[in-house]
């Protein structure tokens, strides 16, 4: 029975790759175990579409918008899709991106309906396939097969339309995944088979620029630009905030419509340059094969021997998800948009990155990268330091060319110190130390109180306990790097600050607790309840967060025996979380808007 089940699983696994024949070799390797559908259900917030490691493009279907489970644009419970947009977040608790949506259709668009130029397309998971660098789906009511693949800066579509039906592709710059503001947008026909454009939005962060150049394998039969739901009567260019383009094609040759779309945060010219550099022709299968090959290369950095097929699938899919972010935001010519909105220029061979979810990654993901990709680590730190130059502070949670200011701590210092202490030093270490110290003095979530009083008053600042504990750890990171650099004065200052955790430990309860400005503990206290003193946690989650001074923490608990007993109590304590907070109790998240 077990052998038969295993054989069926392997057959299904191999079948998943058949949508892009040149992407398969017939022999299982790490890339064959990747299942991009893992995480797309419940509250996983991942997307199944096509991307390459750390790419600027995440070309994926959008099935919903406007609720917490729309963070990635896709949810496995859905049975219809709006289209395929080129940028997506993976695994976050906030919604953004979903830029430049393409919708293939056989429906004649209703140009008199200002509210709905097109309808959602029904699909079934039976007609979906996804692998690393490839996605396909059949839009069953219209008989269209849509296939997606990508390079670092280019998304590629292949649409196979049924014979005898209208062949239409809609480009929708009004499409959003959340209630964002579109400041400006442009659509322009620039050749018989090319459409370019841009939009600038305010969402999770402000001033998000996206430029694109889309080139098709066939000339347009007709082009209709639509502004505010109405056709533009003259011209080949439209400007506004609610823009769409309706493109039609002749398909008498029975060939699919292939589109390649270059992206840039800088300019249409750069988007076109990215397109021409990374995809020379319209060979979809060749691009798909290259994407698979790149995934195979990076996933093979860790080779697992033994284990079941399911275990390998879980492992390599987790590896895959660990390599879809951070995202490239520089162009092939080295230009990129800085946090002050100026255009920067990188030395040849360097890459600028964004989408650093540092609060989520500093504990495990960043240390993993120091073991498997030191080039990436150096480029990330160069990106950190450029953000510091442009904004005056190291990044906290940057997206695109802006800062979301989401989550707590100043954990870029942890990433930099970890790299330096492991001998990864391909950056200006003196400047890095300066940036670390400056950032530690200006965090908006309580660093002023933390420095002056040694704690953050819980009746004045939210997340006071979590911020203090993480500030203390970050200060220890600064101290250790300064010590290694021979900067004794800096070491002594920050090693002392790293002991601030003792000021919020309550020996009576054995927990870190919120302390008011008058020195009294916040009451009532329930260690199982989500409270304002903690970040997406209860007191239990932060009970042992002193990773930099375990011996000191042991003494706070009364010695080794009492500390071990406290650790053991994790296995007997009630696991129920009381109260409501979206990211840990699955209620709707409210993300900050700048």
Using the Cα atoms of residue 280, residue 281, residue 286 and residue 291 in order, give the sign of their dihedral.
Answer: positive
Tokens of 238: 């439209």
- Is pLDDT at 170 greater than 80 in this prediction? yes
CA distance 410 to 395: 8
330 strand-pairing partners = 336
Between 485 and 115, the higher pLDDT residue: 485
Residue positions counted in the chain: 594
| Mean model confidence pLDDT for the chain | 93
- Is pLDDT at 27 greater than 70 in this prediction? no
- pLDDT of amino acid 9: 36
* Angular region, 377: left φ>0, alpha ψ -120 to 50, beta rest: alpha
- Is pLDDT at 11 greater than 60 in this prediction? no
Query: pLDDT tens for residues 275-291?
Result: 999 999 999 999 999 99
Tokens of 286: 């060749």
1: Cβ contacts below 8 Å, ≥ 6 apart: none
Q: Could you tell me which of 518, 529, 496, 523 has the C-alpha nearest to residue 508?
A: 523
At CA 546, angle to CA 545 and CA 552, rounded to 5? 140
- Is pLDDT at 212 greater than 90 in this prediction? yes
The average pLDDT across 344-351 equals 96
> Global pTM?
0.92
CA distance 168 to 257: 10
- Is pLDDT at 565 greater than 90 in this prediction? yes
Q: Confirm if 52 and 297 have CB atoms less than 8 A apart.
A: no
- pLDDT of amino acid 240: 96
185 strand-pairing partners = 199, 240
Q: Which of the four pLDDT bands, split at 50, 70 and 90, describes residue 15? A: very low
% of the chain with per-residue pLDDT over 90: 87
The average pLDDT across 285-300 equals 98
Between 5 and 151, the higher pLDDT residue: 151
180: Cβ contacts below 8 Å, ≥ 6 apart: 96, 201, 202, 203
The average pLDDT across 234-253 equals 92
The average pLDDT across 526-530 equals 94
Tokens of 593: 């808007």
- pLDDT of amino acid 114: 63
- pLDDT of amino acid 580: 75
- pLDDT of amino acid 222: 95
Q: Which of the four pLDDT bands, split at 50, 70 and 90, describes residue 57? A: very high
DSSP per-residue string spanning 270-295? HHHHHHHHH--S--HHHHHHHHHHHH
- The domains located in the chain, with CATH, are 30-294 (2.70.98.10), 349-571 (1.20.1610.10)
Q: Which of the four pLDDT bands, split at 50, 70 and 90, describes residue 575? A: confident
What is the CA 310 to chain-centroid distance, rounded?
25
The angle that helices 2-15 and 309-321 make with each other, rounded to 10 degrees, is 30
- Is pLDDT at 43 greater than 70 in this prediction? yes
- pLDDT of amino acid 109: 86
State the number of CA atoms in the 13 A half-sphere of 104 facing the CB: 29
Query: pLDDT tens for residues 97-121?
Result: 999 999 999 998 888 776 778 999 9
Query: pLDDT tens for residues 533-549?
Result: 999 999 999 999 999 99
Query: pLDDT tens for residues 499-509?
Result: 999 999 999 99
**CA-CA distances (angstroms) from residue 19 to 124, 135, 198?**
16, 8, 32
At CA 583, angle to CA 548 and CA 365, rounded to 5? 45
The average pLDDT across 215-220 equals 98
């Amino acid at each position: 029975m077990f052998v038969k089940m295993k054989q069926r699983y392997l057959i299904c696994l191999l079948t998943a790759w058949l949508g892009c024949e040149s992407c398969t070799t017939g022999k299982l390797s790490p890339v064959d175990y990747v299942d991009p559908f893992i995480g797309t259900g419940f509250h996983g917030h991942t997307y199944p579409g096509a991307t390459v490691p750390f790419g600027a493009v995440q070309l994926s279907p959008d099935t919903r918008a406007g609720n917490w489970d729309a963070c990635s644009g896709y949810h496995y419970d859905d049975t219809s899709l709006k289209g395929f947009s080129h940028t997506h977040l993976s695994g976050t608790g906030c919604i953004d991106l979903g830029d430049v949506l393409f919708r293939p259709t056989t429906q004649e668009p209703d140009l008199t309906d200002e509210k709905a130029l097109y309808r959602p397309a029904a699909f079934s998971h039976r007609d979906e396939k996804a692998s690393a660098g490839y996605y396909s789906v059949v839009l069953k009511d219209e008989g269209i097969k849509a296939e997606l693949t990508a390079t670092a800066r280019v998304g590629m579509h292949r649409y196979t339309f049924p014979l005898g039906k209208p062949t239409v592709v809609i480009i929708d710059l009004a499409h959003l995944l959340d209630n964002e503001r579109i400041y400006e947008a442009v659509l322009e026909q620039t050749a018989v088979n090319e459409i370019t454009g841009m939009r600038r939005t305010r969402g999770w962060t402000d001033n998000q620029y996206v430029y694109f150049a889309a080139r098709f394998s066939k000339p347009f039969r007709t082009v209709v630009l639509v502004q505010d739901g109405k056709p533009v009567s003259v011209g080949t260019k439209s400007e506004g905030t609610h823009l769409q383009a309706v493109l039609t094609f002749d398909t008498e040759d029975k060939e699919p419509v292939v589109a390649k779309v270059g992206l840039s945060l800088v300019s249409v010219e750069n988007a076109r340059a990215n397109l021409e550099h990374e995809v020379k022709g319209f060979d979809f299968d060749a691009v798909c094969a290259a994407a698979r090959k790149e995934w195979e290369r990076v996933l093979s950095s860790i080779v697992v021997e033994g284990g079941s097929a399911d275990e390998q699938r879980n492992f390599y899919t987790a590896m895959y998800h660990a390599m879809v972010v951070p995202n490239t935001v520089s162009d092939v010519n080295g230009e990129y948009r800085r946090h002050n909105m100026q255009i920067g220029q990188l030395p040849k061979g360097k890459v600028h990155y964004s989408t650093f979810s540092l609060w989520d990654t500093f504990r495990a993901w960043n240390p993993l990268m120091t073991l498997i990709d030191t080039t990436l680590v150096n480029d990330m730190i160069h990106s950190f330091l450029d953000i510091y130059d442009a904004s005056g502070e190291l990044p906290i949670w940057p997206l695109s060319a802006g800062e979301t200011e989401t989550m707590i701590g100043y954990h870029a210092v942890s990433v930099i110190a970890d790299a330096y202490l492991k001998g990864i030093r391909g950056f200006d270490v003196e400047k890095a130390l300066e940036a670390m110290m400056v950032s530690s003095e200006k965090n908006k979530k309580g660093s002023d109180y933390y420095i002056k009083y040694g704690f953050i008053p819980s009746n004045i600042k939210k997340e006071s306990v979590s911020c203090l504990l993480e500030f203390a750890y970050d200060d220890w990171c600064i101290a250790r790097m300064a010590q290694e650099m021979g900067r004794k004065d800096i070491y002594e200052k920050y090693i002392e600050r790293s002991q601030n955790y003792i000021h919020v430990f309550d020996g009576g309860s054995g927990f870190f607790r919120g302390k008011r400005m008058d020195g009294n503990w916040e009451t009532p206290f329930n260690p199982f309840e989500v409270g304002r003193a903690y970040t997406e946690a209860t007191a239990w989650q932060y009970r042992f967060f002193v990773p930099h001074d375990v011996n000191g923490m042991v003494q706070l608990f009364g010695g080794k025996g009492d500390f071990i007993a406290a650790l053991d109590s994790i296995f007997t304590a009630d696991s129920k979380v009381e109260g409501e907070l979206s990211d840990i109790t699955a209620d709707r998240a409210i993300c900050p808007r700048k």
